[in-house]
């Protein structure tokens, strides 16, 4: 991590909404940026490379000269980011970074880390800065992990991928091995053994992990009653939900909220151009060549 991020200069988190599109940048300093598109679409110009990002995606960018982002005109775009200053890197590390996928689907892990970072706001104190920087390192490491996992998915049987996707999208429903196996066209025994081999757990264990992670996310991000969250996540009763949260996170649902509760985030001023469409917009080429 410290081989390409200047940890001494810290990290910043931010978020913004462009109701009808807009532009951001160019950033002239050398940055490493984790950009998340929650809704909408963006074109990211990092030095000489262009990357198109759609909804529910995140991308990693390390610029040497400039970073410029165009949010598509006429579309509502909700975006957030984590940014650090780029450090000096060797040729070997540069090659490895270029081989990294510039964008991957947004995972719940990255989304949670990003929300926690944004919630810290833009204040400055010794402990706050240490916490923000720890989250900054964590979210970049999470991206590298997810990017590596996405490569591994190419080697994962389609039946396992389909079963995992179905669980991710339908975790609140009652799911059985027999039903899941029938949906992906294999026997229950084959699905269990193949899922454990490639994912590391059985389909049902994975289902409970997804439910627990989603419940934890809703505890942090909403004011829903704990019982409502339990039922929304597929638990038959709040007691089972509370027990799983306590086992996984070492705190009861109420303690999770008390210690890490949701706060309205503050945007972090970047000091770069930030223009919403509907205002005078410079030509893209003139901006990039300034």
6 touches 14 (CB < 8 A): no
Q: Dihedral (C-alpha) 74, 75, 79, 83: value to the nearest 10 degrees?
A: -40
> What is the pTM for the complete model shown?
0.54
The residue written with tokens 């591994």 in the block is: 152
Rounded Cα gap, residues 247 and 200, in angstroms: 19
So what's the pLDDT on residue 240? 95
Per-residue pLDDT tens over the stretch 18-62: 998 899 988 878 888 999 999 999 999 998 889 999 999 999 998
Rounded Cα gap, residues 275 and 272, in angstroms: 10
Per-residue pLDDT tens over the stretch 218-275: 887 788 999 999 999 999 999 999 999 998 878 899 988 876 433 322 233 345 555 6
Rounded Cα gap, residues 72 and 54, in angstroms: 10
Q: How far is CA 6 from CA 203, 205, 261, in A?
A: 41, 39, 30
| Residue 280, burial from CB neighbour count under 10 angstroms (0-12, 13-18, 19+) | exposed
Per-residue pLDDT tens over the stretch 88-100: 655 555 555 566 6
Report all structural domains of the chain as residue ranges with CATH numbers, in order of start: 7-152 (2.60.120.280), 156-260 (1.10.10.60)
């Amino acid at each position: 991590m410290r081989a390409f991020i200047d940890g001494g200069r810290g990290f910043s988190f931010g978020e913004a909404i462009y109701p009808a599109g807009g532009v951001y940048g160019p950033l002239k300093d050398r940055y490493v940026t984790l950009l998340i598109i929650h809704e909408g679409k963006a074109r990211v110009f990092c030095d000489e490379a262009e990357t198109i990002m759609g909804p529910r995606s995140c991308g990693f960018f390390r610029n040497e000269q400039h970073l410029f982002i165009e949010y598509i005109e006429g579309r509502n775009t909700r975006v957030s980011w984590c940014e650090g200053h780029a450090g000096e890197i060797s040729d070997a590390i540069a090659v490895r970074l270029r081989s990294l996928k510039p964008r991957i689907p947004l995972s719940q892990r990255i989304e949670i880390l990003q929300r926690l970072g944004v919630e810290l706001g833009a204040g400055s104190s010794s402990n706050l800065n240490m916490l923000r920087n720890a989250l900054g390192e964590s979210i970049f490491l999470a991206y590298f992990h997810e990017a590596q996992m996405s490569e591994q998915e190419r080697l994962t049987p389609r039946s396992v991928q389909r079963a995992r996707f179905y669980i991710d999208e339908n975790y609140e429903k009652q799911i059985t091995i027999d039903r899941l196996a029938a949906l992906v066209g294999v026997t229950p025994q084959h699905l269990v053994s193949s899922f454990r081999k490639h994912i590391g757990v059985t389909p049902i264990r994975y289902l409970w992990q997804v439910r627990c992670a989603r419940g934890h996310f809703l505890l942090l991000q909403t004011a829903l009653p704990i019982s409502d969250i339990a039922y929304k996540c597929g638990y038959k009763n709040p007691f089972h939900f509370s027990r799983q949260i306590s086992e996984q996170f070492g705190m009861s649902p109420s303690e999770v909220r008390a210690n890490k509760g949701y706060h309205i985030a503050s945007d972090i001023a970047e000091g770069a151009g930030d223009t919403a469409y509907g205002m005078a917009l410079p030509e893209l080429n003139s901006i990039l060549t300034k």
